[in-house]
Amino acid sequence: MFLDPTASHLIVCTALGENYYLHYQSRQPRPLPRLRGVSVESIAWNPALPTTSTREILIGASDGNVYEGYIETATEFYRKEEKYLKSLQRLPDGPITGLWVDSLPGRSDTRRVVIATQSRLFHLVGKVGKGHESIYSKLFDAEQPVIHELSRSTTPAASALAVSPDSPDVSRFRDEAQPERSFAWLSSHGVYHGKLLVSPASSELGSKIFNESRLIPKAQLATPEAAGGRRQASTDGIEAIALTQWHIVSLVGNRVVAANQLTGQTVYDQVVLNQGQKALGLYVDVQKNTFWLFTAQEIFEIVLTDEDRDVWNIMLKQQQFDAALQHAHTPAQRDAVAVASGDYLVERGSFSEAAGVYGESSKPFEEVALCFIDNNQPDALRKYLVTKLNTFKKSSIMQRIMIATWLVEVFMAKLNSLDDTIITGAELSETLNPAQTKEQLEAIRGEFHEFVTRHKTDLDRKTVYDVISSHGREEELLFYANAVNDYNYVLSYWVQRERWPEALTVLKRQTDADVFYRYSSVLMTHAPTELVEILMRQANLKPRSLIPALLEYDRNYKGSLALNQAVRYLQYVVNQLHSADSAVHNTLLSMYASHPSRGDETALLAYLESQGDEPRYDPDFALRLCIRHHRVLSCAHIYTGMGQYVQAVDLALSHDEVRLASIIANRPMTNPPLRKKLWLAVARRVISQAHGDGGIKAAIEFLKQCDLLKIEDLIPFFPDFVVIDDFKDEICAALEDYSRNIDGLRREMDESSQTAANIKVDIAALEHRYAIVEPGEKCYACGLPLLSRQFFVFPCQHAFHSDCLGRRVLEQAGPAKAKRIRECQVQVSKGLVSGVRREAMVAELDSLVASACILCSDYAIKRIDEPFVKEGEDLSDWAL
């Protein structure tokens, strides 16, 4: 029986040459008419492992024929199972004992075919066809097989071809690829085995495979080992073989023998069957990686446990270091491989490769480093140090710092060496020309940059600065400083060398305000425009902290005010950032005032006017500053803002600014006396400066701007020699005005006399005034009949009992008035006074109590906050 790896297709062969096919979805096998009479010895299944049909398979017969067949499941009864059967080749060697077909990686149209007979092994590689009847015809017709042939043997022996199963753990391998399969051919000489290599994909592949394969003699496997380590002679032959990943399992008589494929040594020899018991063979599940031994009565499973535990050591002894490292399971094993690999590479002179291997090993650090130093291999030393640095944990702080610092020194020495080679124009070595040296320089510099970026936390800043500076490597020094964000160092470096563009470039990338404060003075002196552009883009700065730098710049600035960069920045702070800091405003004002622009106060006045009624600057400071620098207009503006109009006018007049003084004098419009006083001061100066008739007249015309000045106010200011003719018209106009005023006063006096007479008549009529009290009228305070006792009636027709009115007045009167009312009531009620005094006391009491109606006068206004519903009253009385 032949079962494919997917357990989808089964071909059953009988001794009479009848062959049947059973699909896993079928209930009964069906005969294969085209294979009738063919004694099948071996089958090579399609490498694609299809499940619905077998697709193209190779069949080996006992008569030496190799067939290509295609078997598919027939759903109709009358349809045949075989799609086709084609004879490809006949070998005269006897039965085809083994067949294998696989596809080479990356070549879907290329197949490899291995054919085994009892005396020869064939290997074919080539392209297959795309026909519907046969695809292997092209391969067998076009390609000549590579043959491995054994010498003729007269002893009959079993023959078989075994191929290793699928790898049980592909993820163990670094390249994540399926490893190459192994093959084993059982013949009369023993077991011939090797790797089924996959390249090159040509006819040379077979020769390469056979050259690298080797034979394990039959005697080595068939002879059992006795006690004491000596082997006993045996006449048993090898009946069957199977391949695991690393071992060849053989069935020798009643024993199962396993030999290592790498060394050929027997590692397992166990008697399994009883004496006289016959095994049917060894079988392998290539996908599940399980191994079985069948007899007619029993089934044995050959269980593999940690099969590759010694593979790494074997490969290490064979100096296959990469393969040994792949199969090393523990850190100790990998370390042993690394040390041995490094030693081997050093012996061969491959120091650079050894450096990478040593870096991941436990070989003493000093020994490796001295090895590279003694052999003058700085590049290998650098590679080793980088690799070793990556193996240390973060907690190994001292080790990491020391190695990282040493690496900086190694990098600097290498860069200097390359620079010297480029400068002298000589070749670095026999294999590198100057152009290649420059390329290597850039590569090493890039490697250094990557190293610094990755390990900057492992470097001591001061030490690195000292090391790089000692080698004069400016570019590397600045790169390191930038990598560790030490912008103070970078800025200091450029500033010391007066490289202002580079310093500003670094400053643009900063956000730390302290950096700007520290370097603003020197940069403001040498690159003011660019610095101000940068400062205006920084929102986290305190302008107050930049004032010293701005003042230092302004002190040495000799240009126009429009180009003053300190003023420009302060204007931005005031106008755009709306700063309320008095220090900023005072600084800007001092720059305006101290600038040597004689007579031009436009900018200063514009600033002062923009501050409005609540200036942010210090007025006293601004005033002293403007006086010192003779900024008259500005001083006057400040005086006016402070409300000191007299001082403002005096200042303007002291500088002969008569028109400015007149403008200031008109400011206090709500204070006519002050305004007149100011104008009198202006008039005194104007008249004192007038000369001749025209001057006097012009002065008088100018003073007419004020409506408060009269001619009599101005006369004392005129000199004694001035004749009255110069202002005769003004005197006449003043006299006419006085005459009109006298007439108006006379009319007002007459009207006042008439009013006084009318008042006397009204007073006399008061004695005869009366009020009518209707019968049943009630007191507005208590609600009882009014006529029941003494009462008061007011012109507003409100009437109150005298005692009720007295109580209400006492409740609302002030302390002094209430006290006097009580005193009068006590003296009158108890008879403490009599006669005229009593009458006067009663009159005083009446005047105090009945001075005004408590419902209409100020008393009612004072009660506006009293609630309508008082505490204790029934709220339902107010219901509508």
Structure tokens at 361: 């090993």
Helix or strand (DSSP H, E) at 764: helix 728-766
Cα 536 from Cα 617, distance rounded (Å): 22
Q: Looking at per-residue confidence, does 545 or 651 come out higher?
A: 545
Residue 527 has pLDDT above 60, yes or no: yes
Q: Give the mean pLDDT of 746-773.
A: 83
Q: Looking at per-residue confidence, does 152 or 724 come out higher?
A: 152
Residue 175 has pLDDT above 50, yes or no: no
Instruction: State percent of the chain over pLDDT 70.
Output: 84
Residue 605 has pLDDT above 60, yes or no: yes
Q: Provide long-range contacts, Cβ within 8 A and 24+ apart, for 637-646.
A: 637/605, 637/608, 637/609, 638/608, 639/664, 640/664, 640/667, 641/608, 641/613, 641/615, 645/674, 645/678, 646/674, 646/677, 646/678, 646/681
Residue bearing tokens 């007459």: 750
Q: Give the mean pLDDT of 580-608.
A: 80
Cα 419 from Cα 513, distance rounded (Å): 39
Residue 20 has pLDDT above 90, yes or no: yes
pLDDT of residue 856: 84
pLDDT tier, 39 (very low <50, low <70, confident <90, very high otherwise) = very high
Cα 566 from Cα 528, distance rounded (Å): 8
Taking only the tens place, the pLDDT of each residue in 675-686 is 666 666 666 666
Cα 69 from Cα 621, distance rounded (Å): 112
Task: Classify 673 in phi/psi space as left (phi over 0), alpha (psi -120 to 50) or beta.
Answer: alpha
Q: Give the mean pLDDT of 822-847.
A: 80
Q: Which of 133, 109, 129, 59 is nearest to 89 (CA)?
A: 59
Cα 572 from Cα 372, distance rounded (Å): 63
Q: Which of 324, 188, 313, 162 is nearest to 245 (CA)?
A: 162
Residue 45 has pLDDT above 90, yes or no: yes
User: In sequence order, what are the residues at sequence separation of 6 or more whose Cβ sits closer than 8 angstroms to the Cβ of residue 35?
Assistant: 19, 59, 69, 82, 85
Global model pTM greater than 0.75 = no
pLDDT of residue 4: 93
Taking only the tens place, the pLDDT of each residue in 124-139 is 999 998 867 789 999 9
Lowest-confidence region among 34-43, 380-389, 418-427: 418-427
CB atoms within 10 A of CB 814: 7
**DSSP3 helix / strand / coil % (the chain, rounded to 5):** 50, 15, 35
Cα 700 from Cα 682, distance rounded (Å): 12
Structure tokens at 756: 């006084």
Q: Would you give the distance in Å from CA 364 to the centre of its chain?
A: 42
pLDDT of residue 95: 93
Residue bearing tokens 């049947």: 20
User: In sequence order, what are the residues at sequence separation of 6 or more whose Cβ sits closer than 8 angstroms to the Cβ of residue 542?
Assistant: 513
Q: Write the DSSP string, 330-371.
A: SHHHHHHHHHHHHHHHHHHT-HHHHHHHHHTS-S-HHHHHHH
Q: Give the mean pLDDT of 10-15.
A: 94
Structure tokens at 64: 């030496």
pLDDT of residue 879: 73
pLDDT of residue 174: 43
Cα 731 from Cα 700, distance rounded (Å): 12
Which of the 8 DSSP states describes residue 778?
Answer: B
Residue 464 near residue 408 (C-beta atoms within 8 A): yes
- Residues for the chain: how many in total? 880
pLDDT tier, 734 (very low <50, low <70, confident <90, very high otherwise) = low
Residue 161 near residue 222 (C-beta atoms within 8 A): no
pLDDT of residue 157: 78
Give ∠ CA 8-101-213 in degrees, rounded to 5.
130
Residue 461 has pLDDT above 70, yes or no: yes
Average pLDDT taken over every residue of the chain: 81
pLDDT tier, 698 (very low <50, low <70, confident <90, very high otherwise) = low
Q: Would you give the distance in Å from CA 282 to the centre of its chain?
A: 63
Residue 259 bridge partners (DSSP): 248, 266
Q: Give the mean pLDDT of 405-426.
A: 81
pLDDT of residue 11: 95
Taking only the tens place, the pLDDT of each residue in 479-520 is 888 888 777 887 888 788 888 888 888 888 887 788 888 888
Q: Could you tell me where the DSSP H helices lie in 601-727?
A: 602-610, 619-628, 632-641, 645-654, 658-665, 672-688, 692-703, 711-714
Spell out a b/e string for 57-75, using b for 16 or more CB atoms within 10 Å of the CB, else e.
bbbbbbebbbbbbbbbbbe
In whole angstroms, how far apart are CA 482 and each of 292, 497, 518, 623?
68, 17, 18, 49
Q: Could you tell me where the DSSP H helices lie in 392-473?
A: 397-424, 434-455, 461-470
Cα 413 from Cα 378, distance rounded (Å): 9
Residue 366 has pLDDT above 60, yes or no: yes
Residue 408 near residue 468 (C-beta atoms within 8 A): yes
pLDDT tier, 696 (very low <50, low <70, confident <90, very high otherwise) = low
pLDDT of residue 428: 46
Q: Give the mean pLDDT of 513-537.
A: 86
CB atoms within 10 A of CB 125: 24
Residue 392 near residue 399 (C-beta atoms within 8 A): yes
Cα 618 from Cα 626, distance rounded (Å): 12
Q: Write the DSSP string, 272-289.
A: -SPTT--EEEEEEETTTT
Taking only the tens place, the pLDDT of each residue in 80-108 is 677 889 999 999 888 999 999 999 888 88
Structure tokens at 364: 């003493």
Q: Which amino acid, residue 129?
A: G
Residue bearing tokens 């062969």: 13
pLDDT of residue 171: 47
Residue 176 has pLDDT above 50, yes or no: no
Spell out a b/e string for 341-370, using b for 16 or more CB atoms within 10 Å of the CB, else e.
bbbbbbeeeebebbbbbbbbbebeeeebbe
pLDDT tier, 740 (very low <50, low <70, confident <90, very high otherwise) = confident
